[in-house]
Amino acid sequence: MPAKTIIITGANSGIGRAAAARIAGEGHRVILACRSLEKAAAARADIGGNTIAAELDLASRRSIHAFTDWVHQELDQVDVLIHNAADFDLSKTEREMTADGFERIWFTNHLAPVLLTDRLMDRIITSPQGRVITVSSKGLLAHPFQTVNIDDPMFATRRFTPAAAYYQSKLAQNMYTIWLAQQLSGTMVTANAIRVSKVKIDLARFPDLPQWMKNLYALKSLLAITPEQMTETYARTALDPSLRNRSGTLLDHQLKAVPFPAYAKDPLCIERVMILTYRQLGIQPAVTFSDASGPAEPTGFR
């Protein structure tokens, strides 16, 4: 297989880092896009191979713009974009706002991947087999009534909990994946989501977690798989030629297609979430494809 160029966000730790090592180990070029350049460089030094450390703070619009400008300068083609990074610090007791005025989890986990994909679509579309991969959570199964609160996605007037914010953002990413796959139908670019099951996390990364939560995590991690085990799905979703025509699906840790939550598949709900998304970002979708003939004028959401 010819070497591909793969961007992995949050590639300095956990599953993202293990996936970067695995994919770079297969001879591909991997861009480790991390909010700390220092951490990215340390991961790069450990992983070796054809890896590049780059700075990308998904909680900052300025950083996303700087990163995508760098990509446009350095790379002619991006084959795979893996939206692995996520803010899921469950020790938060109050919502935090980004410098741009967005609730941090909503922006980092949902709006930022949409913005990043849009700004890189001109590079992904040049790949003979471009792939956009979002990362979901099996934990959504335990939240069957989870919705995206269209009127207040950023918890301005309702009680904030990090879990509610996290699962709302992951649900919105599910909907985005389905929507994006539809927009891209008739092109060589696919969009799929990976459903991560319980994977061991490094508790040292969350020093502010209350002790009872640390104990709970420690207990849960007895049943958890390792980041390395999860990377098989990342690597195959990114690279497996047999998946070239698969789009708009949710793949579990064994690469089995599993159903999206019912709410996430509802066309009206998807439309509302995507209107909200682009309205909040203040941009028009970069590309909307009506057919195989190529990019149409953005239909636009007003």
Residues with a catalytic annotation lie at: 166
Q: How far apart, in whole angstroms, are the C-alpha atoms of residue 171 and residue 42? A: 32
| CA angle 70–247–238, rounded 5-degree value | 50
Nearer to ligand NAP, 207 or 241 (CB): 207
Q: Give the CA count within 13 Å in the CB-facing half-sphere of 175.
A: 28
> Please, what is the minimum distance in Å from the beta carbon of residue 112 to ligand NAP?
7
Burial class (CB in 10 A: 0-12, 13-18, 19+), 204: exposed
**C-alpha distance from residue 236 to each of 15, 53, 131 (Å):** 14, 23, 11
- Token pair 């590079």: residue: 123
Nearer to ligand NAP, 167 or 263 (CB): 167
* Strands of 143-224, DSSP E: 190-196
Nearer to ligand NAP, 57 or 79 (CB): 57
Closest CB to ligand NAP belongs to which residue?
14
> Please, what is the minimum distance in Å from the beta carbon of residue 198 to ligand NAP?
5
> Please, what is the minimum distance in Å from the beta carbon of residue 106 to ligand NAP?
12
> Please, what is the minimum distance in Å from the beta carbon of residue 152 to ligand NAP?
22
Residues that bind ligand NAP (CB under 6 A): 9-10, 12-16, 34-36, 39, 56-59, 84-88, 108, 135, 137, 139, 196, 198-199, 201, 205, 227
Nearer to ligand NAP, 28 or 35 (CB): 35
